[in-house]
Structure 1
Amino acid sequence: MEYVLVLCIGCIAGIVTGLIGASGVMVVVPAFIILGYTTSDAIGASLFIDTIASLVVAWTYYQNKNLNLKQGIWITIGSVSGAQIGSFISPFIPEVGLSSAFSIFLVITAVLFWFRGAKVGVPNLNGNDANPQQSRILKLLRSNVIVSSLLLGILVGIISGLFGAGGGVMILLILVFVMQYSMHEGIGTSTLIMAFTAASGTIGHAITSNLPLKASIFGAIGTVIGGRFAAKLANKVNEKVLSKVMGGVFVALAVIMLATTGINN
């Protein structure tokens, strides 16, 4: 029965990745913890499942000519390196601290999705921003794209290794705001980069024995089904409504995780 539930969890995670290019970590980690896995094991499983989901979704976007890794390669290099750092740090963080930190991560992600839903569209990149300070920051980041991409990639990778996220949302923001990708191309490319990042984190967790392999495989099977189906429907989804709904779901998951941590302690 447990593995049937894991299969369903993987399917839902794949749908999340396929529809909005986000990591399935928001679904996998809380669900695995509720099933009785430790936070570190749940994160390891999430990274494994995320790797498969991202590859399936990226392939679908590639078939629709919405993938461009040429400029995103530097983010990939940085994120793969950072994921190793995060994966080795993760087991040394106390269980309660890791769960609480992950809950905060969920809330932050929820806010990003909510405002993304409230303000859908390609951002203004012409330097006429209402916020001059934001424009200066963007210009600074674009002044040396390689260095900026490497540093931002390392940061994304560390967060990925710590919390089990492939970093899809953060990578998407870098591609769209810094590298000026279109939204569809940004989603397709970010999911492929996310696959490399998650794979790196998975290896790190496997080395530290925080990877429940059997459960991860069942979850990965589910994510292939959900990810492929959802990616094909991605262009038909109302992004504004979906983003707000997902924001609410992430907040609910954060509350559940905090409540679960409190009960277990």
Structure 2
Amino acid sequence: MSTLLAMFVLGLAASTFGAIVGLGGGVIIVPALLLLGPTLLGMKIDTAMAVGVSLGTLVCTSFTSTLTFVKEGKADLRSALFFAISSGPMSMVGASLTALFDPDAFRRLFGYFMLSMVVLLLLRSRIKPYQGKWRYVRAYTDADGTQQEYGFNALPALLIGGLVGLIAGLLGIGGGVLLIPAMLLLFRFPPHIASATSMAVIFVSALFGSGMHIIRGEWDWLLVLALAPGALLGGWLGARISRRIGSVLLIRIMCGALLLFALRIILT
């Protein structure tokens, strides 16, 4: 019972935080499984297994959070579709590569990249907005009645979606760590729309990626089922909490989460 309770708390905490900022929660689940496996579960969990279990948990998190965001009118499913078209298949590619090489060098390089994204997000207000024309334009009216326009072109969205899927399948982190900065900096998504739409894309990436890990045998149904109840509740709870957070504070929380994630993978 104590182990099941610990897994529930882990799934709840990771998924609640992940849904609030649109990262998914894999940044917490993967290292937790790797570090706590021997003491908490009495077994050593390798990287491929941890990634597979994390992606399975992300399916639950992103499912309930996306449903909640859709009901609140926050998730832009049409935009999510463009990213998901390439993120789904590429997550399968990433999943198939997880056990084929030592990802330490890639993780550190990606960590330094994330540090640069944090700096850009903090300087977001000083960066000159993209002046080109978007093929697909969206409009969003915030709680104050201010209307904001954002948009994207198909090719950049597909390319970024592919990278998101590759990272999701390879590292089991959902891909929001790349998608969120791209949405905010390149396509000028409002913060709440970015986090909600990210969760919809993560659902597709996690679904495809976890499917590949099941095929490869890098999967543990008992671990996924133990984490699932907390993840389902956390996805819903995180989406509910997110709507109570202002845009400026949400950006700061995102930056803090990305900074902690970047430092962790660089230093470990």
Report the TM-score when normalising by structure 2: 0.78
Equivalenced residue count is 244
Cα distance in 2 between the residues matched to 1:247 and 1:80: 23
1:98 is aligned with what amino acid? P
Structure 1 runs not aligned, ≥5 long: 128-134, 259-265
Going from structure 1 to structure 2, the CA distance change for 1:112 and 1:163 (only over 3 Å counts) comes to: same
Tell me how large the CA RMSD over aligned residues is. Answer: 3.1
The equivalent of 2:92 in structure 1 is 84
Residue 239, structure 1, aligned to residue 247, structure 2: no
Cα distance in 2 between the residues matched to 1:180 and 1:209: 40
Any runs of at least 4 consecutive aligned residues in structure 1 with deviations exceeding 6 A, and if so which? Answer: 120-123
The equivalent of 2:32 in structure 1 is 31
Residues 62-116 of structure 1 show CA distances to partners (whole Å, capped at 9, x for unaligned) of 11111222233221110011111111111212xxx23564465456446635653
Taking the TM superposition and a 5 Å limit, the aligned residue runs for 1:50-61 are 50-61=58-69
Residues 218-260 of structure 1 show CA distances to partners (whole Å, capped at 9, x for unaligned) of 112111222222221113333255245434542564377x2xx
Identical-residue share of aligned pairs (%): 19
Cα distance in 1 between the residues matched to 2:62 and 2:217: 23
Name the SS for the 1:71 alignment partner: helix
- Partners of 1:39 and 1:99 within 8 A in 2: no
The equivalent of 2:234 in structure 1 is 226
For residue 147 of structure 1, the aligned residue among 139, 155, 164 is 155
More helix by share: 1
Q: Which range moved further: 99-108 or 31-40?
A: 99-108
Q: CA deviation at 1:48?
A: 0.8
- Partners of 2:11 and 2:230 within 8 A in 1: yes
Q: CA deviation at 1:149?
A: 1.9
Residue 204, structure 1, aligned to residue 208, structure 2: no
Cα distance in 1 between the residues matched to 2:198 and 2:235: 15
Taking the TM superposition and a 5 Å limit, the aligned residue runs for 1:36-115 are 36-93=44-101, 97-99=102-104, 101-102=106-107, 105=110, 108-109=113-114, 112-113=117-118
Taking the TM superposition and a 5 Å limit, the aligned residue runs for 1:110-189 are 112-113=117-118, 116=121, 118-119=122-123, 124-127=128-131, 145-189=153-197
- Partners of 1:81 and 1:157 within 8 A in 2: yes
For residue 261 of structure 2, the aligned residue among 244, 250, 258 is 250
Name the SS for the 1:72 alignment partner: helix
The equivalent of 1:262 in structure 2 is none
Q: CA deviation at 1:151?
A: 2.1
The equivalent of 1:21 in structure 2 is 22
- Partners of 2:179 and 2:198 within 8 A in 1: yes
Cα distance in 2 between the residues matched to 1:44 and 1:204: 8
Going from structure 1 to structure 2, the CA distance change for 1:202 and 1:122 (only over 3 Å counts) comes to: farther
Going from structure 1 to structure 2, the CA distance change for 1:243 and 1:145 (only over 3 Å counts) comes to: closer
2:236 is aligned with what amino acid? R
Q: CA deviation at 1:124?
A: 4.8
Name the SS for the 1:91 alignment partner: coil
Going from structure 1 to structure 2, the CA distance change for 1:50 and 1:124 (only over 3 Å counts) comes to: farther
More strand by share: 2
Going from structure 1 to structure 2, the CA distance change for 1:87 and 1:61 (only over 3 Å counts) comes to: same
Structure 2 runs not aligned, ≥5 long: 38-43, 138-150
Cα distance in 2 between the residues matched to 1:123 and 1:214: 47
Going from structure 1 to structure 2, the CA distance change for 1:157 and 1:243 (only over 3 Å counts) comes to: closer
